[in-house]
Amino acid sequence: MLIANDPAQTRSAGSALTTAGSELLCAAGAAQLGSGAGGDATPRTDAALGMLSSDWGSGLRTLSAQIESLGRYADLVATAFERAGD
Amino acid sequence: MGVRAGLAYPEGNPAALTQAAQRLSGLAARVAGAATSIGRSAAVSGWEGPRYEVFVSAGRDVAASLDPGAAALNRASSNLAQLGTRVEDAQRRIRAWAEEIEAAERSLQTAQSELIAARLAAGLTGRPTHLEGAFERASHELDELRARYIPKARQLCGELRQDDERAANALRAAAAMAPKAASRAPGPLSFLDLKTAASAGFDDRDGAIGAHASASIEAILARLHERFGDGTTTYGLDASVGASASASANAELGPNGLHLGGGADVQAGAKGSVSATVGDEDTFAITPSLDGRAGPGAGAHANVDVDEDGLHADIGAGLSPLIGGGVHLEVHVNPAGILDTIQDAPRTIETIKDLID
Q: What is the pLDDT of residues B296-325, one digit of tens each?
A: 667 777 777 776 667 777 777 766 666 665
- Residue A56 is part of which domain span? 2-85
- A8-67 pLDDT, tens per residue? 777 888 888 888 888 888 877 777 766 556 667 789 999 998 889 889 988 888 888 888
CB proximity under 8 Å: B 195-234 to A: 224, 226, 228-230
pLDDT of residue A40: 73
Structural domains of chain B ordered from first start: 2-176 (1.20.1270), 193-342 (no CATH)
d(CA B188, CA B323): 28
Distances (CA, A) of B256 to B102, B136, B201: 106, 119, 20
Specify the higher pLDDT residue, B317 or B129.
Answer: B129
pLDDT of residue B147: 96
* Phi-psi region at B206: left, alpha or beta (left = phi > 0; alpha = psi -120 to 50): left
Question: Is A27 within 8 Å of B186 when comparing Cβ atoms?
Answer: no
- B324-334 pLDDT, tens per residue? 656 666 666 66
Q: Is B205 exposed, middle or buried (0-12, 13-18, 19+ CB in 10 A)?
A: exposed
Write the ipTM: 0.84
Question: Is B58 within 8 Å of A70 when comparing Cβ atoms?
Answer: yes
Q: Which residues of A touch B4 (CB under 8 A)?
A: none
Nearest CA in chain A to B156: A41
Helical segments of A1-86, H only? 2-30, 43-85
Question: Is A45 within 8 Å of B179 when comparing Cβ atoms?
Answer: no
Residues of chain B with pLDDT > 70, as a percent, come to 65
Is B51 an interface residue toward A (CB < 8 Å)? Answer: yes
Nearest CA in chain B to A82: B237
Provide the pLDDT confidence category of residue B64 given band limits of 50, 70 and 90.
confident
Is B70 an interface residue toward A (CB < 8 Å)? Answer: no
> What number of H helices and E strands is found in chain B?
4, 10
Q: How far is B111 from chain A (nearest CA, A)?
A: 36
Looking at the partner chain, which of B26, B47, B175 has a beta carbon nearest the beta carbon of A10? Answer: B47
**Identity of residue B82:** Q
Helical segments of chain B, H only? 14-41, 50-122, 129-176, 335-356
Q: Which residues of A touch B157 (CB under 8 A)?
A: 41
pLDDT of residue B55: 82
**Within 10 Å of residue B336's Cβ, how many Cβ atoms?**
12
Question: Is A38 within 8 Å of B237 when comparing Cβ atoms?
Answer: no
Residue B145 has pLDDT above 80, yes or no: yes
Give Cβ neighbours of residue B226 (< 8 Å, ≥ 6 apart): A77, A80, B47, B48, B49, B51, B52, B236, B237, B238
Q: Which residues of A touch B239 (CB under 8 A)?
A: 80
Ranges B112-121, B160-169, B241-250: which has the least confidence: B241-250
